[in-house]
Chain A
Amino acid sequence: MSEAHAHDLPFWRKYVFSVDHKVIGIQYTITAMLFLFLGFSLVSIMRYQLAYPGRDIPVIGKLLGGSIVGQTETGYVLTGDGYNALGAMHGTIMIFLGVVPLAVGGFGNFVLPLQLGAPDMAFPKLNMASYWSFFAGGVVMLASFFVKGGAANSGWTSYPPLADIATTGQTMWLFGMVLLITSSLLGSINFIVTTVQVRAKGLSFFRFPFFVWAQLVTSFLLLLAFPPLEAAGVLQLMDRLADTSFFLPSGLVVSGEVQTQISGGGSPLLWQHLFWFLAHPEVYVLILPALGIVGEVIANNTRKPLWGYKSLVFATIFLGFMSFIVWAHHMFMTGMGQTLSTFFQATTMIISVPSVIILTCMIISLWGAAIRYTVPMLFALAFLPMFAIGGLTGLPLGLTTSDIQLHDTYYVIGHFHYVVAPGTLFALFAGVYYWFPKATGRKMSDFLGKLHFWPSFIFINGVFLPMFFIGMAGVLRRQFDQTEQLHGAAVQGLTVMASWSAWLLLISQLPFIFNFFWSIFRGQKVGANPWEATTLEWFAPSPPPHGNFATTPVVYCGPYEYSVPGQKSDFCPQNVALEA
């Protein structure tokens, strides 16, 4: 109720089991960033095997040991299962424990109620439960590395029957996923109710900042797409723990043994449908909040309204809806007939249209601007071409005919990494730099920010650009050693280049890590609105107290009233009526 009351809380209630959306948002942000770093570290080890197959992993090889790294005559080398486990867990950690918790759990929790002028989330306790469910899911996933047989190693897609017969790590993966899904459901219910019911007076739907729209659509995706995966997870758990045969057909022969003790009669394709029913919307769960952040940062730093705000909103809603009916384009190679393949090719082409509209609106917003090259703006601007490359390279994968050659090759890896790594991750960095002053009252160092941006920008392209060529050459993903195959050996040089870029990219994150912690304590102190922004979050004190706003804000105008002619400053806050 009162501020004083909140300050009376013991430490563990205030910062650990907190119900304050800002604390939860920061908890999410920090946990998710740790997971992102872990996910990146995992892939750095994989990249050594890819670049120098079968050779001794220097320095850390000996430390890893266990089920991931085995000792051979050439030294400490990744095992096949270890490689697959790293691959599966890299995907899982990056998506479910890194990007989504950061984009939705972190930024959504911290920024959304502030932008809505709300004192907190609609259900603060559910919000806390959501974070701790996520945390528990993360712990289960991490613990799976230490069980017999190592972590899940059937790919992040966990296709049965392989996943049905995999080691214990897969069971833990499934339990972890159930926890993460629960967390997402709690979070998304909270976001939707907060957005619709707890917004400030005067903040009608078309006065929402674009970020709010992005989070709202994302929440609906999480709410409706995750349950089928939960169902699939339960079914796979039953297969693994109760010997059912949901995904196992009759007459399986595993390692030369006829499986007579299972009933059979299931279908491996069933899993793929249930899985991709989630996993395609999940792509938009990864990208929409990023678009939201980029929209905010661009509007703020171009000092003009976003061009085509309504088109942006409708395109986002349409994108969200369409994302539910394109999923089978991940399954073109399962032997699909003409009708279905045409349907899914068509929906896939249709879904590219709103993406094009969004990108067009963003780039036309630059026209007539007065661009401030702040660090968040650099990341947001870099996002645009990277996202464009990611989007364009989706085209050949969305058409069955070209997909025949490119399906499951590095081209796919390049494509979706361009969307989520230089795409979403750059947007998330923009968000961290942009809202850091709101969370701490201090700005992150500009110099270190630029030192972070430029090498990251160069090396991230160094990692993923070669992948299009590697994929074009036909090299398949999830290959422990691509030189085992003739076409893989031919482009091994590019793989080496990608690996070195990845390691340099890892080093390029050091300025950020230093900057982040240094700026919490030593960063330049700034006021409530250092970016001269218009949206409501900037009119709460920095950092905002429990309950956020000193007086409940009332909204008078749209979200991006920058450089309005005839006004005395170049920005008109939402909670201040425009001068006549």
Chain B
Amino acid sequence: MLAATQYGNYGLWSPPMVSVHGDGVDSLITTLHWFMFLLFVPWAIFFVYCLVRFRRRAGHTASYTLPKAKISKYGEIAVVIFEVILLVGFSVPVWAEYRTRPPVREDRLEIRMVAQQFQWNIHYAGPDGRFGRTSAEFISDVNAIGLDESDPAAADDVQTINDFHLPVGKDIYVRLTSMDVVHSFSIPTMRVKQDVIPGMEIPVWFKIKEDATSENLRAEMTRAYPIGRVRWDRLRHHIATEDYKDRTGQVLLAKGGSLGGTFKAGAELIDKLRQAGVAEISMQPRHPLELVCAQLCGNSHFTMKAQLVTHTPEGFDEWIAEQSKEVTFDEDF
């Protein structure tokens, strides 16, 4: 079992963090907020002090001149120096890593991601490591990316919709294209965000920390929620880790089950659980990681997300092998 705080949980501050470069992003954000705090608090104290001390009252008059206040100059210079440090010391190096130094070809797992309204089409090269040819003329309901079946390289290719599988501890290199409008490839838990612009192919790369498999994360994110504070909105993507029964022994919420598909159903179930005397329920996210779209892409923009499943490298190879054995076009999705 992992330490409870290794990757964090969803809550008030940053979401869990499972990528290698993400530490740099987070430390910059943290440093910046300390910096902002240190600037703002003395500023605010000075402000409030002025408001009280220099209020208009009998016997107090404003002074026309003021001794030259050097403090403002020092303050400004300090701000400038700090900004330079943040820029040169934190932002530029991390960005260079994130944007300009792709992992070497031999070691990376290359994936093609074709965004469209409102789904993520994911194209794996399969065991042979080569992508089949794609062309708009082959696009159909079951072949969203237009893979040319006659191409030998396409034989073992795998395409999925909104089902994104990745290995941990391996360099991942995603080639992003869009079929229609501007989308944005965003994995909040990995501090990855990249606009997907039609007419361009843009790569993004990252590496998931060892151990950050979906299984481990799900275990880490398991929490017991007091029944009085359970809200369907809050826990609609969670599943129960054990069975919850009413007094007659009938299962109200089964292990692996969710609170229901709608607010109404959820509210009714929560009500029943409370009446059955359940004090708290233990729940965990069904899919701890998600890929979402960060650029407005139409009326169902908010539904454009993919479940992100992380495997051990071996587990991933197994998954790919199994997928590519099936018919090329996965009927499950």
Residues in A lying within 8 Å of B, measured CB to CB = 53-55, 74, 79-81, 84, 153-155, 159-162, 165, 248-256, 258, 264, 266-269, 302-305, 307-308, 333-338, 341-342, 345-346, 349, 352-353, 356-357, 360-361, 363-364, 366-373, 381, 384-385, 388-389, 392-393, 395-396, 399-402, 404-409, 469, 472-474, 476, 478-487, 489-493, 562-565, 570
Least Cβ–Cβ distance between A531 and chain B, in angstroms: 13
Quick one: CB contact mask for B131-147 with A, threshold 8 Å, 1 for yes? 00000110101000000
From B24, B62, B136, A401 is in contact (CB under 8 Å) with B24
Instruction: List, in ascending order, chain B residues with CB within 8 A of A249's CB.
Output: 198-200
Q: Tell yes or no: B55 within 8 A of A by CB.
A: yes
Instruction: List, in ascending order, chain B residues with CB within 8 A of A307's CB.
Output: 66, 69
Given known A-B contacts A159-B295, A396-B32, A401 and B10 have beta carbons under 8 A apart: no
**Cβ-defined contact, A346 with B87, below 8 A:** yes
Given known A-B contacts A404-B192, A487-B10, A335 and B15 have beta carbons under 8 A apart: no
Least Cβ–Cβ distance between B147 and chain A, in angstroms: 14
Least Cβ–Cβ distance between A313 and chain B, in angstroms: 16
Instruction: List, in ascending order, chain A residues with CB within 8 A of B76's CB.
Output: 353, 356-357, 360
Quick one: CB contact mask for B180-215 with A, threshold 8 Å, 1 for yes? 111010101101111101111010000000000000
**Cβ-defined contact, B29 with A406, below 8 A:** yes
Q: Tell yes or no: B40 within 8 A of A by CB.
A: yes
Quick one: CB contact mask for B15-33 with A, threshold 8 Å, 1 for yes? 1000000001110110011
Beyond known contacts A268-B198, A338-B100, A486-B237: 12 more, CB 8 A cutoff:
A249-B199, A256-B139, A258-B136, A308-B72, A353-B80, A363-B50, A369-B54, A396-B32, A401-B24, A484-B305, A491-B10, A565-B64
Instruction: List, in ascending order, chain B residues with CB within 8 A of A381's CB.
Output: 51
Q: How far is the CA of A392 from the CA of B192 in the complex (A)?
A: 23
Least Cβ–Cβ distance between B262 and chain A, in angstroms: 8
Instruction: List, in ascending order, chain A residues with CB within 8 A of B47's CB.
Output: 363, 366, 384-385
**Cβ-defined contact, B99 with A369, below 8 A:** no
Given known A-B contacts A162-B296, A399-B86, A570-B61, A250 and B302 have beta carbons under 8 A apart: no
**Cβ-defined contact, B199 with A268, below 8 A:** yes
Least Cβ–Cβ distance between B75 and chain A, in angstroms: 7
Interface residues on B, range: 35 or more
**Cβ-defined contact, B299 with A153, below 8 A:** yes
Q: Tell yes or no: B287 within 8 A of A by CB.
A: yes
**Cβ-defined contact, A364 with B72, below 8 A:** yes
Least Cβ–Cβ distance between A502 and chain B, in angstroms: 18
The chain B residue with its CB closest to the CB of A476 is: B294
**Cβ-defined contact, B79 with A356, below 8 A:** yes
**Cβ-defined contact, A476 with B234, below 8 A:** no
**Cβ-defined contact, A399 with B296, below 8 A:** no
Q: Which of B261-295 contact A (CB under 8 A)?
A: 262-264, 285, 287-288, 290, 292, 294-295
Most chain A beta-carbon contacts within 10 A, residue among B28, B75, B181: B181
**Cβ-defined contact, A570 with B62, below 8 A:** yes
**Cβ-defined contact, B299 with A486, below 8 A:** no
**Cβ-defined contact, A338 with B95, below 8 A:** yes
Q: What are 18 A-B contacts defined by CB distance under 8 Å? A: A162-B298, A251-B136, A268-B198, A304-B63, A338-B99, A338-B100, A360-B72, A363-B50, A364-B69, A366-B47, A370-B57, A372-B56, A400-B95, A401-B25, A401-B28, A408-B186, A473-B14, A480-B300
The chain B residue with its CB closest to the CB of A563 is: B62
**Cβ-defined contact, B95 with A385, below 8 A:** no
**Cβ-defined contact, B234 with A489, below 8 A:** yes
Q: Tell yes or no: B1 within 8 A of A by CB.
A: no
From B29, B44, B57, B60, A405 is in contact (CB under 8 Å) with B29
Given known A-B contacts A53-B233, A334-B195, A364-B69, A472 and B14 have beta carbons under 8 A apart: yes
From A54, A159, A399, B32 is in contact (CB under 8 Å) with A399
**Cβ-defined contact, B302 with A484, below 8 A:** yes
From B62, B92, B262, A303 is in contact (CB under 8 Å) with B62
Given known A-B contacts A79-B299, A268-B199, A336-B99, A388 and B60 have beta carbons under 8 A apart: no
The chain A residue with its CB closest to the CB of B304 is: A484
Q: How far is the CA of A153 from the CA of B10 in the complex (A)?
A: 31
Q: How far is the CA of A389 from the CA of B39 in the complex (A)?
A: 10
**Cβ-defined contact, B198 with A490, below 8 A:** no
Least Cβ–Cβ distance between B267 and chain A, in angstroms: 11
Instruction: List, in ascending order, chain A residues with CB within 8 A of B60's CB.
Output: 370
Least Cβ–Cβ distance between B183 and chain A, in angstroms: 10
**Cβ-defined contact, A401 with B182, below 8 A:** no
**Cβ-defined contact, B181 with A161, below 8 A:** yes
Instruction: List, in ascending order, chain A residues with CB within 8 A of B290's CB.
Output: 485-487
Q: How far is the CA of A353 from the CA of B235 in the complex (A)?
A: 44
Q: How far is the CA of A395 from the CA of B295 in the complex (A)?
A: 22
Q: How far is the CA of A373 from the CA of B297 in the complex (A)?
A: 48
**Cβ-defined contact, A483 with B28, below 8 A:** no
Most chain B beta-carbon contacts within 10 A, residue among A162, A405, A490: A405
